[in-house]
């Protein structure tokens, strides 16, 4: 038969105090509460030996003073879920998120949140390109200050880089090639270059 483990939960080995029960000479190795913890602190406690802490714990009843309905509610697997919690409303600073499907660029969606507030949003610098044209410039890695000649040169470089006939038959970049071609088709007839 196996012997009982000498380890006990809550044991403080080597405690200098004796058991707080009068007449007991065993070491007080377990903390037992005298008062409940409160906002002001952890409450008061005393040191007890193993036998006396077991006696103390056997007298503890979590359900004392509760009705049968309260006991059943506390033992329910759903206990605590019916408590009221703070509502996560959009009051006092929060606002609903934008409909992400309305935007092609996530940064535009974030900017849209601030524009929707009606506050003083920083004004964007006027641009000579439409939203689609700006997306095409982004695909080519160019800025708003570019010329049609620069767009043509960048398009040519990227086609040579991504085309399977020019890069040893590597077809992994066909999606990028398609995006580059679409960007050129959008930008070559942009009114800004007229």
The CATH number given to whatever domain includes residue 145 is 1.10.287.110
Domain for residue 53, yes or no?
A: yes
For residues 33 and 27, the answer to whether their CB atoms sit within 8 Å is no
Domain boundary among 18, 34, 63: 63
> Which tens digits make up the pLDDT trace of 128-180?
888 889 999 999 988 888 889 999 999 999 888 888 887 777 778 888 889 99
Largest Cα–Cα separation, the chain: 104
pTM (2 decimals)?
0.37
Domain for residue 113, yes or no?
A: no
Q: Which domain holds residue 26?
A: 9-63
Domain for residue 96, yes or no?
A: no
Q: How much is the pLDDT for 121?
A: 46
Report how many domains make up the chain. Answer: 2
Domain for residue 87, yes or no?
A: no
Q: What is the mean pLDDT of residues 104-111?
A: 71
Higher-pLDDT residue of 7, 163: 163
């Amino acid at each position: 038969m196996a012997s009982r483990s000498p380890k006990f939960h809550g044991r403080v080995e080597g405690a200098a105090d004796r058991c707080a029960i009068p007449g007991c000479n065993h070491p007080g190795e377990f903390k037992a509460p005298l008062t409940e913890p409160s906002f002001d602190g952890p409450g008061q406690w005393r040191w007890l030996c193993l036998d006396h802490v077991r006696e103390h714990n056997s007298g503890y009843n979590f359900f004392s003073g509760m009705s049968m309905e309260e006991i059943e509610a506390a033992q329910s697997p759903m206990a605590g879920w019916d408590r009221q919690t703070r509502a996560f409303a959009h009051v006092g600073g929060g606002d609903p998120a934008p409909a992400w499907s309305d935007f092609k660029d996530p940064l535009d969606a974030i900017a849209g949140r601030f524009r929707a507030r009606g506050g003083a949003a920083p004004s964007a610098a006027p641009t000579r390109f439409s939203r689609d044209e700006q997306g095409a410039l982004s695909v080519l890695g160019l800025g708003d200050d570019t010329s049609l000649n620069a767009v043509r040169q960048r398009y040519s470089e990227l086609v040579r880089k991504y085309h399977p006939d020019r890069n040893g038959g590597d077809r992994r970049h066909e999606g990028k090639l398609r995006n580059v071609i679409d960007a050129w088709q959008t930008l070559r007839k942009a009114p800004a270059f007229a």
